[in-house]
């Protein structure tokens, strides 16, 4: 019986590459939980540098997943929110979370040479 999933789909590949980039999944998960401030994102995701967060947010913004809002206040505040396209990833993030809960990370198995 043939699978309904084709071997390659450019749209699927692009989506997986986007959300599978280092730290993107963690950023999306944090934003889906309601975090919108840059400093709160870095605090919520251990090991994430400011430079990497900035880079990933720019990529997600360019893809229409995140919108950046500058609030002209003193001091100036910047918030990041998920767009409709970004919020639509909730099922994907939840599915990966369920999968990760069922299949926790295992220590790498040494490869014999």
> Could you list the residue range(s) of the whole structural domain that residue 38 is in?
16-99
Could you tell me if residue 106 is inside a domain? no
pLDDT tops 60 at residue 112: yes
CA atoms within 13 A on the CB side of 62: 7
**Which band of pLDDT confidence, cut at 50, 70 and 90, is reported for residue 1?**
low
Residues 83-111: tens digit of each pLDDT: 999 999 999 999 999 999 998 888 888 88
CA distance 25 to 16: 10
> What pLDDT is stored for residue 3 in this prediction?
63
Number of domains in the chain: 1
Q: Tokens 């998960």 map to which residue? A: 29
Q: Tell me whether residue 108 is in a domain.
A: no
Question: Each residue of 6-38: pLDDT tens digit?
Answer: 788 999 999 999 999 999 999 999 999 999 999
* Phi, psi values for residue 76, rounded to 5°: -60, 135
Residue 78 lies in a domain: yes
2, pLDDT greater than 70: no
Q: What is the CATH number of the domain that holds 61?
A: 1.10.10.10
pTM of the predicted protein model = 0.84
The 10s digit of each residue's pLDDT in 42-89 is 999 999 999 999 999 999 999 999 999 999 988 989 999 999 999 999
């Amino acid at each position: 019986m043939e699978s309904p999933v084709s071997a390659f789909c450019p749209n699927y590949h692009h989506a997986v590459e986007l959300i599978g980039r280092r730290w993107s999944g963690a950023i999306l998960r944090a934003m889906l939980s309601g975090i919108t401030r840059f400093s709160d994102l870095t605090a919520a995701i251990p090991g994430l540098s400011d430079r990497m967060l900035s880079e990933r947010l720019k990529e997600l913004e360019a893809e229409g997943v995140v919108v950046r809002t500058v609030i002209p206040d003193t001091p100036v505040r910047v918030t990041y929110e998920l767009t409709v396209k970004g919020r639509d990833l909730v099922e994907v993030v939840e599915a990966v979370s369920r999968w990760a809960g069922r299949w926790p990370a295992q220590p790498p198995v040494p490869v014999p040479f």
